[in-house]
Structure 1
Amino acid sequence: MKHPLLAVIKQGRIKRRQRWLLINSILFATALALCCAMLMFGNSYYPPQEIWNALTGNAAGGASFAVNTIRFPRMLAGFFAGIAFGIAGNTFQTMLRNPLANPDILGITAGSSVAALICILIFHTSNTVVSIASVIAGLLTVFLIFILSKGKSFSIGRLILVGIGIQAMLSAAISFLLMRGAQEDIPTALRWLNGSLNGAQLDSTIPLMITVILCAPIVAILGRQLGILELGEESATSLGLNTNQTRILLVLTSVAMLAIATATTGPIAFVAFLAGPIAKRLVGVGYSNVIPAGLVGVNLVLAADLIGQFAFTTRYPVGIITGLLGAPYLIYLLIRMNRKGSL
């Protein structure tokens, strides 16, 4: 006869799993609905049948051009960038056990942005070179942060402070590049810096799609190990986890997704910051937060882009809308952490 406590534990686990599956299903269905909305709405409205005809090559004229050349690449860029930013942000926040430890605040996104701006404003390189430079710069930024924050013992607080300092330095570098760049290139650079899906093209989105398809499953598979890392260095080691190897793999895959997404759409503000905490609130504890964070990232990017396009008389880039959502949450988080003595 089973012990009553075991039955309670098993029942609780089943409920947590059901909740995890339900939330993921709702997030995925919402993401699909937003994808459909991005394909249907624009300067002209196209019904689902006409969208399908355009995607399958059975439509002609304006519908085919609008859907295949403008709306479909834009939707793909937003979808995969949302996954990349959401998963990368959640990975750093969980691995470093601090909601402030996300790529935006640590300066990793700024590092990729500096490299991309150098390629855009100075060397006028192709999108492929921009993507490669962004990945390398993102990895170098992570390496620099870890080296400068290394002391006698690993300190998350020290790492965050160093990251904030690196971010400030890189922001100054971005301002310098904008001042020295050619006038005709500045509007493009500013539009990119705000985080925008405008002008997304299928060929420039393919590297992002490939990177996410390759890297996101690796992070998802390591979701259990990521949860163990959240327990702390000593606890993770005592449970038999190779912490250094796991961290390196998580950092490499996350930075690759983050850098390619930044190179493709620009640094869409606060998506990496918001996706993890929102997903954690929705799903609860007990199961990996990787997939929900990616889906929340998708919903944030696509919803913000639709709001920026249609909610105001002037069209705004997606990064401005996500910035308006993220800034109040950052202030709230700082106040809450200060009250708890976490700062």
Structure 2
Amino acid sequence: MSGAVTARPLLRVVRVGAVSVLWRPRGLAVVAALAAATVLATAVHLSLGGTSIDLLSVLRTMVGDPPDARTQLAVVEFRMPRTIAAIVAGTALAVAGAITQTIARNPLASPDILGVTSGASLGAVGVLVLAGGGAGGLSGAAAFLGLPAAAFLGGLIAGVAVYLLAYRGAVDGYRLVLVGLGISWLAASLVTWLLTLGDVTNAAQALTWMTGSLNAEEWAMVGPLAAVTAVLVVLTAALARVLALTGFGEETTVALGVRTNLVRSTALLCAVLLASLATVLAGPVGFVALAAPQIARLLVRSATPPLAASALVGALMMLLADVLTARLSPVPLPVGIGTAVLGVPYLVWLLIVSQRRTA
């Protein structure tokens, strides 16, 4: 009798006619577990508030069978926009982080470092401080559209600037990170300068927004941004398989017939748009785009950050951070503080592991 142990295959092939798909049993199990955890976190997030609602009633309302009209009104109209905003922002940041880390081949690369969130902050603070985008300044449609449009435009301009400055015949990950850091510091300096120009009220509102906040979310804003985010995530998922091939090196990728520059440029544009949309919804929330893809990669045990698992980890991080800061904290705090509490220990651990590997 042989004592040899047969290892389980990491990849399995599913064939339907002429179409074959590779899938990882572990990856599928991790995604299923994360999806279940996200549903539970969503129900907990919806159950907490000024008046607590039991989880069973929340779950019934989520599947379209509310126990009464009052519960449906509280869950769907008052609480769900904030919950959906947290899920969408976390998903967008995590997918954007997974793309940038794959392109740069660096676990520390994220939209935070590449200047996208700093550019979005610059645009939003410009509206809040100079144009008075708060309650005492712009009014009506201008107040509603001014802040999101400025944040989105600022993030997009910063992302395009980083790409143009870093591009030298190809997208180099090391150069991308260095240029992104420079744009981030420039945008942060301009934000500080703008805060000194505005009055105390607008500057205080700008500082609150810069910490990250899910307050005052409404369906009128959350719905369209969620739809655009879904389209970008689907487009990014379509590029993910081809983008993963770029990790084998330039010569191998070109030999396989992949147009490397086009794929990387398109994926990077999607990452910039996703990070900008997330900043519009929740402000410049930190650490989600940095930590979520690497946590997902460690759970799935893959060479590159997996998109589906990264998206679920990002949504879960945002929900848990908002529960900790806005629901369970004695004093309501911005969601950015919660993501920092969850993300900083991971960053410290990553730095320690990197130093040990170098040694």
TM-score normalised per structure 2: 0.83
Contact 2:211 2:336 in 1 (8 A): yes
1:275 maps to: 292
1:120 maps to: 128
1:5 maps to: none
1:161 aligns with 2:178: yes
User: Could you say if the C-alpha distance between residues 207 and 122 of structure 1 is closer, same or farther in structure 2, counting changes exceeding 3 Å?
Assistant: farther
Bigger relative contact order (CA 8 A; separation at least 6)? 1
The gaps in structure 2 that reach 5 residues or longer are 1-5, 14-22, 134-141
1:89 aligns with 2:97: yes
The gaps in structure 1 that reach 5 residues or longer are 1-7
1:3 maps to: none
Offset from partner CA, 1:196-249 (integer Å, 9 cap, x none): 112211111123201111111111121111211223333322221111211222
1:230 aligns with 2:237: no
For residue 154 of structure 1, report the CA deviation from its aligned partner. 5.5
Offset from partner CA, 1:17-59 (integer Å, 9 cap, x none): 2111110011011101111111111221112464456977874
Q: For 2:321, which of 304, 324, 331 is the aligned residue?
A: 304
Amino acid at match of 1:12: L
Find the aligned partners of 1:234 and 1:128 in 2 and give their Cα distance. Answer: 46
User: The residue matched to 1:104 in structure 2 has which SS?
Assistant: coil
Find the aligned partners of 1:320 and 1:337 in 2 and give their Cα distance. Answer: 25
Contact 2:171 2:261 in 1 (8 A): no
User: Could you say if the C-alpha distance between residues 276 and 186 of structure 1 is closer, same or farther in structure 2, counting changes exceeding 3 Å?
Assistant: same
1:221 aligns with 2:228: no
Find the aligned partners of 1:335 and 1:235 in 2 and give their Cα distance. Answer: 33
Find the aligned partners of 2:46 and 2:40 in 1 and give their Cα distance. Answer: 10
Amino acid at match of 2:29: L
Find the aligned partners of 1:115 and 1:201 in 2 and give their Cα distance. Answer: 21
Find the aligned partners of 2:237 and 2:147 in 1 and give their Cα distance. Answer: 27
User: Could you say if the C-alpha distance between residues 147 and 338 of structure 1 is closer, same or farther in structure 2, counting changes exceeding 3 Å?
Assistant: farther
User: Could you say if the C-alpha distance between residues 154 and 210 of structure 1 is closer, same or farther in structure 2, counting changes exceeding 3 Å?
Assistant: closer
2:264 maps to: 247
1:71 maps to: 79
Taking only the aligned residue pairs, the percentage that are identical comes to: 31
Offset from partner CA, 1:248-285 (integer Å, 9 cap, x none): 22122222121111011101111000111000001112
Structure 1 segments of 4+ aligned residues over 6 angstroms from their partners: 54-58
User: The residue matched to 1:230 in structure 2 has which SS?
Assistant: helix
Find the aligned partners of 1:261 and 1:324 in 2 and give their Cα distance. Answer: 19
Q: Which moved more, 1:227-236 or 1:168-177?
A: 227-236
Find the aligned partners of 2:245 and 2:146 in 1 and give their Cα distance. Answer: 37
Offset from partner CA, 1:266-314 (integer Å, 9 cap, x none): 0111100011100000111278701110000000000111111344322
Find the aligned partners of 2:280 and 2:170 in 1 and give their Cα distance. Answer: 34
User: The residue matched to 1:167 in structure 2 has which SS?
Assistant: helix
Find the aligned partners of 2:145 and 2:327 in 1 and give their Cα distance. Answer: 32
2:220 maps to: 203
User: Could you say if the C-alpha distance between residues 255 and 326 of structure 1 is closer, same or farther in structure 2, counting changes exceeding 3 Å?
Assistant: same
Amino acid at match of 1:277: Q
Contact 2:98 2:305 in 1 (8 A): no
Q: What's the C-alpha RMSD, in Å, of the aligned pairs?
A: 2.8
Q: For 1:11, which of 9, 16, 28 is the aligned residue?
A: 9
Contact 1:28 1:295 in 2 (8 A): yes
Q: Which moved more, 1:138-147 or 1:87-96?
A: 138-147
Amino acid at match of 1:117: V
User: The residue matched to 1:313 in structure 2 has which SS?
Assistant: coil
User: Could you say if the C-alpha distance between residues 182 and 102 of structure 1 is closer, same or farther in structure 2, counting changes exceeding 3 Å?
Assistant: same
User: Could you say if the C-alpha distance between residues 185 and 288 of structure 1 is closer, same or farther in structure 2, counting changes exceeding 3 Å?
Assistant: closer
For residue 104 of structure 1, report the CA deviation from its aligned partner. 0.6
User: Could you say if the C-alpha distance between residues 157 and 110 of structure 1 is closer, same or farther in structure 2, counting changes exceeding 3 Å?
Assistant: same
Find the aligned partners of 2:309 and 2:118 in 1 and give their Cα distance. Answer: 25
2:16 maps to: none
- Give the number of the structure whose residues are more often helix, by fraction: 1
- Name the count of aligned residue pairs: 334
User: The residue matched to 1:106 in structure 2 has which SS?
Assistant: coil
Find the aligned partners of 1:183 and 1:323 in 2 and give their Cα distance. Answer: 26
